[in-house]
Amino acid sequence: MRNIRLFWQIFPACVGITIVSMLLVAWLAATTGREFYIDHLKEEIRERALLIEPTIAVLSRGEDRPFQDFVRQTGRRAATRITVVDAGGVVLADSNEDHALMDNHGKRPEVEPALAGETGYALRHSRTLGESMLYAAIPVKLGADQHRGALRLAIAITPVETMLAALHQKMLAIGLAVTALAALLSLASARRISRPLEEMKQGAEQLTKGRIDQLVKINSEHMSVEMAGLAASINKMAEQINRRIRVIIQQRNELEAVFSSMADSVVAIDADQKIIRMNQAAATLFNLPSEVVKGKAVEGVIRNAYLLEMIAFTLTHNLPQEQKVTLFKGGEPILLQTHAVPLRDEDSKSMGMLLVMNDLTKLNRLENIRQDFVANVSHELKTPITAIKGYVETLLDGALDDQDNARRFLAIVVRQANRLDAIVDDLLTLSRIEDREKKEEIRLVTSAAGPVLESALQTCAVLADEKEIVVQVECDEALHAPMNLPLVEQAVINLLKNALTYSPSGSLVTLRGHGSRNMQGEEFVHLSVIDNGPGIAKEHLPRLFERFYRCDKSRSRDQGGTGLGLSIVKHIAHVHNGTVEVESTPGKGSTFTITLPAAKPEQPAIVVS
Ligand code: ADP
């Protein structure tokens, strides 16, 4: 059934009831009044008839003329029609008409009972007189033989009808006025009932629209007690719902924040293999905006057969799984530790699943580096140890007796021991730098670059002299940078040692310090070691700063190199927020440059974290 507004339910009902009541009252009043009036008239005519009945009886025994005259005159005087009818229904006299012309009245409804000895009444429209008449007939003894006849009296009831009509009109007017008043009153009451309900409805609608920032309170003034109570209950309910919604929104935001900031890639999938949600990490992993994938089929988003297989298995069997899956992104392999976990609702019914992927690529790379490093260190240490062991055993086996060979072997043992010492020294240096870096113990003090280059030169002067290599220093005196002097000096010494080691005798090595400024106005200090040595082939350049990397292994070892010098330089540059770069042309020479951020004017000492 169609819903009707409360107003239209109350208002027409009230007006309808009023109209029906008014009509009923009017009908009752009209009918009862008329009946009462007619009854009263009946009685009156009967009494009039009884009054003249003896006279009629007497006169009917005598001559006809006085009899006729009496009937006519009495009728005129009393404004009543008088008719005398004999037992056969023949009209003997009539006050208004010529009785001789009148038809038989024996069958008239009022005459019939009178001829039978009763009083008869009738109410009808008289064709003769053209108006409504009330008839009353009583028995009468006529003539000398006293035979039974009927004396009929009739009066017009038109005035009564006119009066009743006027009464009806008045009642109609009163009825209309009462109905109008009732309509106005019911309109006001219907409004009073429906308006607060309307307000409550609007309040509830706003609540359903989730406008929690605009909680509408229903104003209960001018309301009935019941309505005010209902409004108060709704207000209270709205407040509670509002509070709960806020809590839910807060919890949702918290979950959202956790979900999106998770480092692991998380994808929620429903039972129909459609994406419910995907966090930022997953969106980045699959190269898709997280909003776009909502509701999409997993096949269109995750294009990896192993992952799709895992998803299908978990959804079908409702079982968790864990696997390592390799995904290719831009041609690069990404190793993912993948967990597929079924999602269940409170009744343990399957709702879908969660795919959680942890990128192990970095961890894997670090693990590989660690393994390589351990293998490299072992190998580097093993070589001199094996040599030392071999020569010492040879000596013990009798070579000691051969003075010349014994001396030669012992010299080799010393050289290998020095190499061991150098490797351990370099390893310790690296580990110390890392350790101090971790403990934030590396103090940087703004210092001039020139003295650092001079000091490195002094340290390597003996080696330079041995190889008759001229080392020149070119440095701008104003060049200052925040530095840890021992470390930067160590880095320059390592580069200078390499230059001296790998350059031919009699060549030239330059230590240069110069400044620069980039587009953003940031200033830098560059410390370069330039040699005219053999240079380095292009293919070695990308790996040159790795630990134990050497271009020519045997040559490096022969020269007493450990393969750690450049990685120490790189690390020192790193703790200064700087870099180290190499430019080299085989056959022409190499330029190694340490770049450090320049000191800002009056920069205080800072600690690198
Ligand atoms: P090493 O102890 O072997 O010198 P480094 O880490 O200092 O180890 O250097 C790595 C390798 O880079 C060296 O083995 C050498 O082959 C090459 N190299 C370093 N500096 C120079 C240079 N100035 N000229 C030519 N090759 C160099």
Give the C-alpha separation, 212 to 206, whole Å.
9
Q: What average pLDDT score do residues 568-594 get? A: 95
275: which residues sit within 8 A by CB, 6+ positions away?
A: 267, 268, 269, 293, 294, 295, 296, 297, 298, 301
Choosing from 532, 566, 590 the residue with most ligand 1 atoms within 8 A of its CB, the one to mutate for a pocket test is 566
Atom of ligand 1 nearest to the CA of 557: 3
- How far, in Å, is the centroid of ligand 1 from the Cα of 24? 123
pLDDT the model gives residue 1: 56
pLDDT value for 505: 93
Q: Are strands 275-278 and 265-270 parallel, antiparallel or unpaired?
A: antiparallel
Ligand 1 atom nearest the C-alpha of 549 is 10
* Cα 425 to averaged position of ligand 1 atoms, centre (Å): 17
Q: Which atom of ligand 1 is nearest to the CA of 568?
A: 6
Structure-model confidence comparison of residues 291 and 133, the more confident one: 133
What is the band of 216 on the pLDDT scale with cuts at 50, 70, 90? low
Q: How far is the CA of 228 from the centre of ligand 1 (A)?
A: 92
Mean pLDDT across 381-410: 89
Q: Which two tokens stand for residue 276?
A: 């419910």
CA–CA gap between residue 60 and residue 78 (Å, rounded): 20
pLDDT, position 185: 86
pLDDT digits 0-9 by tens, 366-378: 888 888 888 888 9
- The per-residue pLDDT for range 542-559, each reduced to its tens digit, is 999 998 888 887 777 777
Give the DSSP letter of residue 542: G
- The pLDDT-based confidence of 596 (bands split at 50, 70, 90) is very high
Q: Can you tell me the mean pLDDT for 167-176?
A: 84
- Work out the average pLDDT over 141-168: 86
Q: Whose CA is nearest to atom 7 of ligand 1?
A: 565
* Rounded Cα distance, 429 and 93, in Å: 162
- Residue 213 confidence (pLDDT): 61
pLDDT above 90 as % of the chain: 45
Say how far apart CA 491 and CA 484 lie, in whole Å. 11
Q: Which of 500, 502, 548, 582 should be mutated for ligand 1, with most atoms under 8 A from CB?
A: 502
Cβ count within 10 A of residue 140 = 25
User: Which one has a higher pLDDT value, 281 or 29?
Assistant: 281
Q: Using the structure block, give the residue that is written with the tokens 């020192």.
A: 572
Q: What is the pLDDT of residue 246?
A: 86
Q: Which atom of ligand 1 is nearest to the CA of 494?
A: 7
Environment class of 520 (CB within 10 Å of its CB; exposed 0-12, middle 13-18, buried 19+): exposed
Beta bridge partners of 427: none
Which of 198-232 are b and which e, b meaning 16 or more Cβ less than 10 Å from the residue's Cβ? ebbeebeeebeeeebeeebebebeebeeebbebbe
Tokens read off for 329: 């992104």
pLDDT at 480 over 90: yes
| CA-proximal residue: ligand 1, atom 20 (nearest) | 498
Cβ neighbours of residue 512 closer than 8 Å, sequence gap 6 or more: 473, 474, 475, 526, 527, 528, 530
443 pLDDT above the threshold of 80: yes
CA of 366 relative to ligand 1 center, distance in Å: 24
Rounded (to 5) percent helix, strand, coil in the chain: 55, 20, 25
Rounded to 5 degrees, φ, ψ at 452 are: -65, -45
DSSP codes of every residue in 283-334: HHHTTS-TTTTTT-BHHHH---HHHHHHHHHHHHH---EEEEEEEEETTEEE
Give the lowest-confidence range in 138-152, 159-173, 190-204, 237-251. 190-204
What atom of ligand 1 comes closest to residue 503's alpha carbon?
24
Atom 19 of ligand 1 has which residue's CA nearest to it?
A: 498
Measured from the Cα of 566, ligand 1's closest atom is: 6
CA 498 to ligand 1 center in whole angstroms? 6
Beta bridge partners of 149: 140
- Ligand 1: distance of its center to the CA of 456 in Å? 17
Residue with CA nearest ligand 1 atom 14: 550
- Look-up of token digits 């440095």: 475
Task: Give distance in angstroms: CA of 485 to centre of ligand 1.
Answer: 23
Of the candidate ranges 187-196, 271-280, 322-331, the one whose mean pLDDT is the lowest: 187-196
pLDDT class of 591 with cuts at 50, 70, 90: very high
Angle at 480 between CA 479 and CA 483, to 5 degrees: 140
Pocket test for ligand 1, best of 430, 530, 532, 550 (most atoms within 8 A of CB): 550
pLDDT digits (tens, 9 = 90+) for 82-140: 999 999 999 999 998 899 998 999 999 999 999 999 999 999 887 767 788 899 999 99
Q: How far is residue 117's CA from residue 115's CA, in Å, rounded to a whole number?
A: 5
Query: Is the Cα dihedral 497, 502, 508, 513 positive or negative?
Result: negative
Q: What is the DSSP string of 162-209?
A: HHHHHHHHHHHHHHHHHHHHHHHHHHHHHHHHHHHHHHHHHHHHHHHT
DSSP characters for 556-568? HHHTT--S-HHHH
**Closest-CA residue to 142 (of 54, 52, 60, 59):** 60
Joined together, the tokens standing for residue 321 give 């799984």
In the predicted model, what is the mean pLDDT of residues 2-14?
Answer: 78
Identify the pLDDT of residue 534.
94
Q: What is the pLDDT of residue 609?
A: 42
The least confident of 104-113, 146-155, 173-182, 457-466 is: 173-182
Closest among 320, 362, 356, 358 to 336, alpha carbons compared = 358
Tell me what pLDDT residue 207 has.
Answer: 63
Give the pLDDT score at 19. 84
**Tens digit of pLDDT for each residue in 269-290?**
998 999 988 888 888 888 887 6
Q: Report the C-alpha gap between 511 and 464 in whole angstroms.
A: 13
The winner for highest mean pLDDT among 34-43, 212-221, 467-476 is 467-476
Mean pLDDT of the chain: 87
423 Cα: distance to centroid of ligand 1 (angstroms)? 14
Residue 262: the pLDDT is 85
CA of 381 to the centre of ligand 1 (A): 19
Task: Tell me the C-alpha distance between 528 and 514, whole Å.
Answer: 8
Alpha-carbon gap, residue 216 to 231, rounded angstroms: 11
Query: Which residues surround ligand 1 with Cβ inside 6 Å?
Result: 498-499, 502, 531, 533-534, 536, 544, 549-552, 556, 561-566, 590
Using CA atoms, how far residue 367 sits from 251, 328, 359, 438, 585, in Å, is 39, 20, 14, 20, 34
Looking at residue 558, what is its pLDDT? Answer: 76
Could you tell me the distance, in angstroms and rounded to a whole number, from the CA of residue 588 to the centre of ligand 1? 15
Residue in 139, 153, 116, 179 with CA at minimum distance from that of residue 57: 139
pLDDT digits (tens, 9 = 90+) for 502-528: 999 999 999 999 999 999 989 999 999
In the block, which residue shows the tokens 């990308």?
542
Strands 508-517 and 470-475: parallel
What's the CA gap between 34 and 165, in Å, rounded? 10
Burial class (CB in 10 A: 0-12, 13-18, 19+), 100: exposed
